[in-house]
Amino acid sequence: MEAEPVIAPEPAVEASKQEVEKAVAEEPVESAPKKSDEFAYLDAAGFSSERFKIEIKNLPKYYGINEMKKLLNVKLSLATNKIKIMRPGCPFLFVCFRDDAERQAAIKAIDGYTWKGKKLQALEAKPSPDPLVKRRNESTKPDGVVSVKKRRTLEESVTALAYLSYEDQLKQKQSEMHNVLKGFGDEVWKSCPTLRSYVEEMRKLNDGLPCKLEDI
């Protein structure tokens, strides 16, 4: 008795088609790169006093960092963790503490306190962004390409007017010297009343300048 031939089943075309469509549907779609969180460091393990920062405003024009430390830590008996002065004579600064209780105590003690004839103002301040992450975000375009600043050539660094022709360079320098002399004449006229008549006479003779300006 002959064995019946084995008939292979037809390929499941429809099933294969569905699997392909499913695979395509599940394929991840590329999206625009997300910028890094500039404040992620606040949630990282470890302590950051940026969480408990205050801003002190209306500071006197002249004060030193040691004077400020003495005022806050000694006279007002506060427990500062860090004092950040932006620049000498700046009318505001930032102070960080170790917890919110110390921050609130500082605001209560400082706000309205008179120091060197100035009534100080104190309020909660937002934490500063991570400078490295911020710089990276600023240099990254929406398409994910990192923009690189064009390096200045040696010629551009040494010769500021290298992009101009020689004739235009002379004109530019002549114009700049004209402006310098004009400003000098204005200062002399303001600060030396006895020379005002002389300055005005020179201006009439030298196209508005206090002296003659030769061509370069």
| R_g of the chain, CA atoms, integer Å | 35
pLDDT bin (cut points 50, 70, 90) of residue 197 is very high
Q: Write the pLDDT tens digit of every residue in 75-93.
A: 999 999 889 888 877 889 9
Domain boundaries defined on the chain? 47-125, 154-205
Higher pLDDT, 87 or 73: 73
pLDDT value at residue 73: 94
Q: Write the pLDDT tens digit of every residue in 104-158.
A: 999 999 999 999 999 999 999 888 776 676 677 666 656 555 555 556 666 666 6
Average confidence score pLDDT of the chain: 77
pLDDT value at residue 75: 94
DSSP, collapsed to helix, strand or coil, labels residue 3 as coil
pLDDT value at residue 11: 52
What's the predicted TM-score (pTM) here?
A: 0.46
* HSE-up of residue 59 (Cα within 13 Å, Cβ side): 22
Map 74-88 to HEC letters: HHCCCCCCEEEECCC
Q: Which residues contact 51 (CB under 8 A, 6 or more apart)?
A: 42, 100, 127
Backbone angles phi, psi at 57, to 5 degrees: -115, 170
Domain 47-125 in this protein, CATH class: alpha beta
Q: Which residues contact 127 (CB under 8 A, 6 or more apart)?
A: 39, 42, 48, 50, 51, 53
pLDDT bin (cut points 50, 70, 90) of residue 38 is low
